[in-house]
Amino acid sequence: MGRLFQELKTDFKLTILWSIAGLGLLVLLLETSAPWLVNWPDSFQLPLTSWVGDALGAGLETVKPLARAFSGLMSYPMRWTNMLFVSAPWSLTLGIVTALAWYVGGWRLALLSLVGLGFVLGSGYWIKGMNTLALVSVSVPLALLLGLAFGILAHKVQPIKSALQAVLDIMQTIPTFAYLTPLLLLFGFGPVVGLIASAIYATPPMARNVILGLERVDPEIKDAAIMSGATAFQRLFFVELPAAKSQIMVGVNQCLMASLSMVIIAAVIGGFDDIGWEVLLTMRKAQFGQSLLAGLVIVVFAILIDRISAALSQERNEHNWRIAFFIAAAGILVSLIGLGPLSNPEDLHLFEPVAAAVDARLGVFTAENGASLDAVKNSIVFYAMLPLRIGLDGAVLVFTWGFQWTTAHSVWFFAIALVLALGLVSRGAFKAAALLIIVSIVLETGISELPWIFVLSLSAGLGWSAGGRALALLIVALLLSILIAGLWERALLSLYLSGISVFTCAVLGSAIGLLCVVSPMAWKIVRPLCDMLQTIPLFVFLIPVLMFFQIGEFSAFIAICAYAIVPMIRYTQHGLSNTPPELLEAAVMSGASDWQIMRDLRIPYAVPTLLLGLNQTILYAFAMLVIAALIGTTGLGQSIYLALGKADVGLGVSAGAAMAILALIADRIVQGFAQERKKALGL
């Protein structure tokens, strides 16, 4: 005990940790006498949401004419491309895309295009698909130009770089549904909203890659350009941009994928008869076979766009253009001759029997295995999710656990936790002891019912450890704004769902990543799966989950995990297998066994990479959280989605901002720890 106080005096981070643990226990003791410590008093809330709504509403009204004019202007290119895509005979499109695929990627890619587009044709979703692609093809050039301009600006004008980076952060972290509401008000119902939203969402990846590419240009090349007498303009266009080409092409690829993903999400506002709307519609009608079919069309588009643009970005290994020409000519010829009964691709429903069969099978499957599926679902919900959400004191009921949790249980629970903590203290594990107390407080109370002052101090403490006082103050200010706006309960619910998803992803993902490092066989299987999961637009994840687990929080949890686990696996695998060879040799020559090398070298060396993976997983989870509101989550995601339905700008934007704040805080804390570890490793 004496040593603990000694350490507390010298180790500031330990002091923070113990203060938080102590504060948490104190607040729980005072729960009855000072309830304002637990629940933020209503009298301290301000109608921020409606203020935001009014202010934005007024602001939007003034720029509305401008926006509507822009909307009118954009409707021309959109109508033209739409006409081009929809009215072009499918054989022509098929021929040209396959020819392009041949030219950039050889016969494999050509075959992939042919089979993929053939599937789209056969599914009867050709026209709907072309509507989607037409939207993408207008939004992408917009996003590319914006991204390029932002990127060059940020690189050339250093003072505004950090401000621009912050804007890019916000553009990416604000949930996609949140800015659909103000856009709706501005531009009115219609495809223009999807176009703008998609351009907003797809600009940041392009801009980031342009910045990264320009920063990585060898300074000697730039100096050589200067010494050759090139002007700033010439340097940029003749030297720097070409030298950064491969990174910029990565940006183009990501921009395309983001745009497609967002165009499909924007379908929730409806009105342009595209493939995303079809998925939503069939999902609502519980026609899962049909829904899966439409989802697969999206996946086909995603894969084709991804592979072809990725092949474009690689150094061209020339494929015979004559064959490409021949393929395109064949497409044109077929279109000229006429397609006869096949001229209307909407009439084709080759896969309808398959969809029906899937529905029938699913019916049989759920009838047979429904009980065991429910058993899995219920045991996870009752024994893991619910206790974390409302705490052991609320979740332990006679009905599920066989007994009723009472105050006496709480007293015993904390008594045991304290005894264990004292045991840890006596063994010198001071940090672990404080963490044990904090975890037991969270378990007993439940994340959604944690006292606000405890959450505030815990976040601030983490922020201080990770990034110093400035970060701690920022976190307190941001969280206070959520408290004042009266969005706190919803924010905690979102925190809870993303928290358990991130925790599950971190544990499972790092375990899978570790397995992939130990066994190259496993990586051979996992890697294409990861590629696949990352190419599929968010939206499509919901379909299979819904098929088996129906609407509800559990389905949302599964969908979030399926999407957010990928970066954790990738970063773990990458981090653990990229230890510098000389360090490995040194460890081997010191006589370390494989396991000792993993424990003492590979894992410590990979910690910054693992933390970055965790960071990505958190951001992915937040992105999916909002989409999962479609299949039933509570919290901020639900509010954002509801606001969209009611065109409530204030609620939509405020809840969106609250969500972005949560993501931002988690991002900064994890980044801070990663930076610290990197510095400690001298990287």
Partner 1 sequence: MQPRNNPRLMTTSAQNTITCRNLWQVFGEKAEQRLADALSRSNDPNDVSQSLLSHNLIPAVRNVSFDVKQGELFVIMGLSGSGKSTLIRCLSRLVEVTSGQISIEGEDILAASKKRMTELRRSTLGMVFQHFGLFPHMSVIDNVAFPLKVSGLSKRERHKHVLPIIHMVGLEGRKHAFPRELSGGQRQRVGIARSLAGDCSVWFLDEPFSALDPLIRRQLQDEFLEVRRKFNKTIIFITHDITEALKLADRIAIMRDGEIVQIGTPAEIVLSPVNAYVREFSKDVATGRHATVASVMQKGVQGDLESAPRVQSTMSIDAALAMSSAHLAPLAVEDDTGQLIGTVSPKDLADAALRDAS
467-471-472-478 Cα dihedral, nearest 10 degrees: -150
Position of tokens 């090139």?
230
Q: Is 406 in the site for partner 1 (CB under 8 A)?
A: no
Q: Is 593 in the site for partner 1 (CB under 8 A)?
A: yes
Nearer to partner 1 among residue 369 and residue 593 (C-beta) = 593
* Shortest Cβ 6–partner 1 spacing (Å): 19
The residue from 44, 588, 645, 646 that contacts partner 1 (CB under 8 A) is 588
Q: Is 681 in the site for partner 1 (CB under 8 A)?
A: yes
Select the span of 82-90, 533-541, 558-566, 597-605 touching partner 1 (CB under 8 A).
597-605
Could you tell me how many residues of this chain bind partner 1 (CB under 8 A)?
A: 20
CA gap 131, 113 in Å, rounded = 18
Site string for partner 1, 567-586 (x = CB under 8 A): ---------------xx-xx
* Element spanning 162, H or E: helix 161-173
* Shortest Cβ 614–partner 1 spacing (Å): 18
Position of tokens 């991130």?
502
CA gap 97, 164 in Å, rounded = 36
Select the span of 35-43, 459-467, 529-537, 588-596 touching partner 1 (CB under 8 A).
588-596
The residue from 605, 620, 622, 673 that contacts partner 1 (CB under 8 A) is 605
SS3 189: coil
* Shortest Cβ 592–partner 1 spacing (Å): 4
* Shortest Cβ 590–partner 1 spacing (Å): 4
CA gap 639, 490 in Å, rounded = 8
The first and second tokens of residue 300, run together, are 């086909």
Q: Is 589 in the site for partner 1 (CB under 8 A)?
A: yes
* Shortest Cβ 591–partner 1 spacing (Å): 3
Nearer to partner 1 among residue 442 and residue 587 (C-beta) = 587
The residue from 284, 404, 600, 646 that contacts partner 1 (CB under 8 A) is 600
Q: DSSP secondary-structure letter at 629?
A: G
Q: Is 604 in the site for partner 1 (CB under 8 A)?
A: yes
* Shortest Cβ 561–partner 1 spacing (Å): 31
Nearer to partner 1 among residue 485 and residue 601 (C-beta) = 601
Between the alpha carbon of residue 53 and those of residues 61, 171, 184, 201, the distances in Å are 12, 19, 14, 22
> Contact 450/492 with Cβ under 8 angstroms?
yes
The residue from 94, 421, 560, 601 that contacts partner 1 (CB under 8 A) is 601
Q: Is 519 in the site for partner 1 (CB under 8 A)?
A: no
SS3 335: helix
SS3 368: helix
For residue 332, the tally of other CB atoms under 10 A from its CB is: 15
635-639-645-646 Cα dihedral, nearest 10 degrees: 150
Length of the chain measured in residues: 683
CA gap 150, 206 in Å, rounded = 9
Angle, vertex CA 360, rays to CA 356 and CA 361, nearest 5:
115
The residue from 67, 249, 592, 642 that contacts partner 1 (CB under 8 A) is 592
Nearer to partner 1 among residue 468 and residue 580 (C-beta) = 580
Select the span of 66-74, 207-215, 546-554, 592-600 touching partner 1 (CB under 8 A).
592-600
List residues binding partner 1 (CB under 8 A).
582-583, 585-593, 596, 600-601, 604-605, 680-683
